[in-house]
Amino acid sequence: MDRILIRGGARLSGAIHISGAKNAALPLMVASLLTDETLTLRNVPDLADIGQLSSILSVLGVAADFQRSETATHTMVLRAKEIASTTAPYDLVRRMRASFLVLGPLLARMGEARVSLPGGCAIGPRPVDLHLKGLEAMGATIALEDGYVVASAKGGLKGARFAFPFVSVGATENLMMAASLAKGTTILENAAREPEIAELGTLLNLMGGRVEGIGTSTLTITGAARLGGADFAVVADRIETGTFAMAVGATGGEVELLGARPDHLGAVIPVLEKTGLTIAATNQGMRVKRNGARPKPADITTEPYPGFPTDLQAQFMALMATADGTAQISETIFENRFMHVPELARMGANIEVNGQTAIVSGVERLKGAPVMATDLRASVSLVIAGLAAEGDTIVNRVYHLDRGFERLEKKLTACGADITRLKD
Ligand code: EPZ
């Protein structure tokens, strides 16, 4: 298993190209199941999760061709001319929860689907009850058999009104795709408003669908008899952008984040400015700068978009670990998303957890240590801590990082960081 060695202390300076958003690209790829025509996605990040989803889609009959480029962005060409199987097997689904998104599109196109329940994951139990209730509201019959969700809708799915009891990104995406091929109109209330949802709505419209209310919490989707192909570029990753901004906050320095969309970080930028970062939109993205003093403390509570994203909570905690004061960090989305705390503590961080709140008392300097990555965002928080720390940090279980950060070491090295991948 690869590890990452970081010699801490270097300030970051230069420019970093922000990749396409993983969490936007995954549902867009799944949308290929809705048509027998070609879907071309540009600016797709080269990540383990993207490869994993391609494998699942190919079992279902999607021909997926990933065209990598050294100099430009990568392109994924997908075509589900015929659905070869309506079963998404356990072995593939358990590795990545996002693969559960195939349920709605398969059911809508084929009238049946058998998709393994994804099970729990490191950050919490993460049920899929809302996905299932929404599809039932649209006329699907759902049974659980041998760990599989077996869904059928013999005469096709029917438009329905469904109000989410709380916001779910994945369930909103699953139902949007299903509704696009259902008979009649579906109204989704209290829908997620993340930019990734807007991306999916925009793509469905390009494919000939009708999704109204994009960007609001009420989506009205008029089903089409068939959808066609499209050519679409994936938006820049707001989580990768926020992660590098926090890395600059932790080390000091000045970095331009090329392609970044500051408008997708409305709740994050003011918090980072409070910690002492200077952030400015540029023609090419945004510039992030911190000089001199230690970061100042700021409190956050994670919330669905447009609130502070749970996917940046661990990175922000690493930044606050060296703040000049005490910060309160509350996690409201996932039950078990503080697994980075004991690892940061191994580097000298002073963090006390009470239920879903962590009190971080900043220390002057973190110290390098061997640490273990536990999930994707937790692992990059350890990289941020390592960049700011005195001495060497070794991050084990780097495969978590590879799920969601493209060429992380290369991007950071180009800005002056001392970070290397150790191959075993
Ligand atoms: C998406 O997960 C993202 N994944 C996550 O990113 C992100 O943390 C999360 O949204 C919240 O922003 C992708 O987009 C692929 P949810 P998702 O459904 O869709 C509960 C990363 O690091 N819930 O909005 O699975 C659930 O347990 C990942 O890139 C139900 O109870 O998140 C959680 O507590 C991690 N029943 C809350 O809702 C359901 O049917 C929000 O989950 C569905 C969800």
Please give the Cα distance from 11 to 29 (Å, whole number): 37
Looking at residues 382-410, what average pLDDT do you find?
Answer: 95
Residue 121 scores a pLDDT above 80: no
pLDDT at 124 exceeding the cut of 80: no
- Extract the tokens encoding 380: 């990059």
Ligand 1 centroid to Cα of residue 4, in Å, is: 28
Residue 209, beta-bridge partner list: none
DSSP designation for 423: P
> What are the residues facing 6 on neighbouring strands?
393, 419
Check: CB of residue 1 under 8 Å from CB of residue 420.
Answer: no
If you average pLDDT over residues 183-205, what whole number do you get? Answer: 98
Region 90-97: what's the mean pLDDT? 90
Ligand 1 pocket, residue 98 CB under 6 Å: yes
At 95 the pLDDT is 86
CB 383 near ligand 1, within 6 Å: no
Taking only the tens place, the pLDDT of each residue in 292-316 is 789 999 999 999 999 999 999 999 9
Contact 98, 53 (CB under 8 A): yes
DSSP annotation string for 6-59 = EE--PPEEEEEEPPBPHHHHHHHHHGGGG-SSEEEEEEE---HHHHHHHHHHHH
What pLDDT does 156 receive? 94
pTM: 0.98
Q: What is the pLDDT of residues 221-267, one digit of tens each?
A: 999 999 999 999 999 999 999 999 999 999 999 999 999 999 999 99
What tokens does 48 get?
A: 């383990």
pLDDT above 80: residue 376: yes
Q: Shortest CA distance to 285 belongs to which of 15, 11, 13, 14? A: 15
**Other Cβ atoms closer than 10 A to 23:** 22
Residue 125 is predicted with a pLDDT of 72
Q: What is the pLDDT of residue 59?
A: 97
- Which of these, 132, 33, 140, lies nearest to 88 by C-alpha position? 33
Give tens-digit pLDDT for 36-74.
999 999 999 999 999 999 999 999 999 999 999 987 799
User: DSSP letter string over 261-296?
Assistant: -GGG-TTTHHHHHHTT-EEEEETTEEEEEE-SSPPP
Looking from the CA of residue 196, the nearest atom of ligand 1 is 14
Pocket test for ligand 1, best of 100, 144, 169, 310 (most atoms within 8 A of CB): 169
CA of 393 to the centre of ligand 1 (A): 30
Atom nearest to 304 CA in ligand 1: 12
Nearest ligand 1 atom, CA 404: 29
The Cα-based distances of 154 to 59, 125, 198 in angstroms read: 23, 31, 30
The Å distance, Cα 15 to ligand 1 centre, comes to 31
Q: How confident is the model at residue 126 (pLDDT cuts 50, 70, 90)?
A: confident
Domains, in order of start, for the chain:
3-19+236-422 (3.65.10.10), 22-233 (3.65.10.10)
The rounded percent of the chain whose pLDDT value lies above 90 is 92
Residue 13 has pLDDT above 90, yes or no: yes
Torsion sign across C-alpha atoms 207, 216, 120, 334: positive
Q: State the pLDDT at residue 120.
A: 64
CB of 131 closer than 6 A to ligand 1?
yes
Q: What amino acid positions are annotated as catalytic residues?
A: 121
